[in-house]
Amino acid sequence: MNDILEVRNVTKRFGMGGVFGRNHITAVNDVSFTIEAEKPEIFTIVGESGSGKTTLARMILRLETPSEGEILFHGTRVDLRASRAERLKFMHEVQPVFQNPFEAFNPLKEVDRYLISTARTFLKLTKQSDIEQAMDDALQKVGLSYAEVKGRFAHELSGGQLQRVSIARALICNPTLLIADEPVSMVDASLRMAIVNLLKSLRDDFGVSVIYITHDLATAYYIADRIIIMQKGDVVEMGPARAVLDNPEHPYARLLKESVLSIDDAGYGDLDPATELMDQINKDRTGRTKMVTRDDGRLVRVAE
């Protein structure tokens, strides 16, 4: 079997409060999944704020080392200390779109310089006109153009424009795996659908696999093949996206779906927090739990 990515029992612990901090937290707890090379897919990660989604993505990108477990890329271990050539090869294939575009760009550097350096390094382009063409192609895919971003600094673009520039940058080098952390959180619904359709076409037409981290369950339903739902570092449910979202089984997964706001309530404000239910869910997770497999192929965390 040929896997692009294999995440094997990965755990990440952090100490908080700097070097002398005394609080320890398990950001990611024993997570495993694989993405097969023959089956490009959109693998969606949803879950609680602070549940370890970004940490998991950063470990896959080698920006963070797992405390336990390992991550294999095409069957070999992703090593933080690899040679420059190996690192470049990895980055050519695995590209990130970071969660907050306002943090992803250096305020003192024009945003197109990121695109230029990506085109130079990975596409080995040297002619100015070729580089501009490659940039414009990528920007057009997200509803922008090179003319719109040329010479602009991050603070000179709107939030949604910046977010789209960071998607375009990742697309320039035609990666085989795209790790997109909340890539559409700052764009309007129309553009959001356009970008989500772009991810779909990357999968269907170009065989790109996408790890799509999002809080938007509706787009997850729309494009995802598989989904994992995380809470406090644990995967609580994982499986075929539509089956899971149509009928979530774990109490947190159910609560998540029920909490999606609806425009039917326009003007009435359905904002009652689910405090009691959440307390109960948190209490239940302190006991011993295990993952069990259901008939439809999903895995659900249940009490032992």
Partner 1 sequence: MAEQKQDVLQVRNLKAYYQMAYFGVEREVRAVDDITMSIHENEVYGIAGESSSGKTSFIKVLAAAIRPPLRVVDGEVEFNFGGQKIDPNKASKEEVDAIRWSKLSYIMQGSMSVLNPVRKIGRSFEDFAFKPMGLPRAEFNSRVAAHLERLKLSPNVLNAYPHELSGGMRQRVTIALATVCQPQFIIADEPTTALDVVVQKDVLSMIRTVQQEMRASVIFVTHDMSVHANITDRVGIIYAGRLVEEGPTRQLFAQPKHPYTAHLVASLPRIGDTRERPALEGRPPNLSDPPKGCRFHPRCPLATDRCKQENPPLVDMGEGHRVACFHTDKVKPLIELGQPKVTRMAEGAPA
Ligand X SMILES: Nc1ncnc2c1ncn2[C@@H]1O[C@H](COP(=O)(O)OP(=O)(O)OP(=O)(O)O)[C@@H](O)[C@H]1O
Contact residues toward ligand X (CB under 6 A) are 14, 16, 25, 27, 49-55, 99, 155-161, 186
Q: Which is nearer to Mg ion, 103 or 276 (CB)?
A: 103
Among 54, 118, 163, 214, binds Mg ion (CB under 5 A): 54
| Closest distance to partner 1 from the beta carbon of 300 (Å) | 18
Shortest approach of Mg ion to residue 91 CB, angstroms? 21
Residue 18, Ramachandran bin (φ over 0: left; ψ between -120 and 50: alpha; else beta): left
Q: Which amino acid is at 222?
A: Y
Structure tokens that stand for 18 in this block: 């700097």
Q: Which is nearer to partner 1, 35 or 184 (CB)?
A: 184
Q: In what order do the strands lie in the sheet with 68-73?
A: 23-36, 3-16, 68-73, 76-77
3-state secondary structure of 246: helix
Measured from the CB of residue 53, what is the shortest distance to Mg ion in angstroms?
5
**Axis-axis angle for helices 111-123, 84-93 (nearest 10):** 110
Check binding of 159 to Mg ion (CB under 5 A): yes
C-beta closer to partner 1: residue 116 or 244: 244
Binding partner selected for residue 143 from Mg ion, ligand X, partner 1, none, CB under the kind-specific 5 to 8 Å limit: partner 1
Q: How far is the CB of 62 from ligand X (least distance, A)?
A: 15
First to last CA, the chain: 32
15 binds Mg ion, rule: CB under 5 A: no
**In the block, residue with structure tokens 């970004």:** 54
Going by the DSSP 8-state scheme, the letter that residue 300 receives in this structure is: E
Query: Kindly report the CA angle at 266 between 264 and 271, in degrees rounded to 5?
Result: 95
With H, G, I as helix, E, B as strand and everything else as coil, classify residue 235. strand
Binding site for partner 1 (CB under 8 A): 14, 16-18, 21, 23, 46-51, 53-55, 99-103, 143, 151, 156-161, 164, 182, 185-194, 197, 215, 217-219, 221-222, 245-246, 255-257, 259-275, 278
Nearer to Mg ion, 162 or 300 (CB): 162
Per-residue contact track with Mg ion, 73 to 102, x per CB under 5 A?
--------------------------x---
**CB nearer Mg ion, residue 45 or residue 241:** 45
At 99, list the tokens. 């969660």
> In terms of CB distance, is 109 or 294 closer to ligand X?
109
Q: How far is the CB of 177 from ligand X (least distance, A)?
A: 18
Return the number of the residue (67 or 133) whose C-beta is nearest ligand X: 67
> Residue 73's beta-bridge partner residues?
5, 76
Residue 261 touches which member of Mg ion, ligand X, partner 1, none, C-beta under 5-8 Å by kind: partner 1
* Dist. CA 263–CA 110, nearest whole Å: 39
Task: Identify what 219 binds: ligand X, Mg ion, partner 1, none; CB under 5 to 8 Å per kind.
Answer: partner 1
Question: Among residues 157 and 172, whose Cβ is nearest to Mg ion?
Answer: 157
Residue among 290, 285, 293 at smallest CA distance from 26: 285
The DSSP secondary-structure symbol of 78 reads -
Closest CA to 164 of 109, 119, 115, 225: 115
User: Could you tell me which of 91, 150, 90 has the C-alpha nearest to residue 115?
Assistant: 150
Q: How far is the CB of 100 from Mg ion (least distance, A)?
A: 9
Tell me, by CB under 5 A, how many residues bind Mg ion. Answer: 4
Contact 11, 28 (CB under 8 A): yes
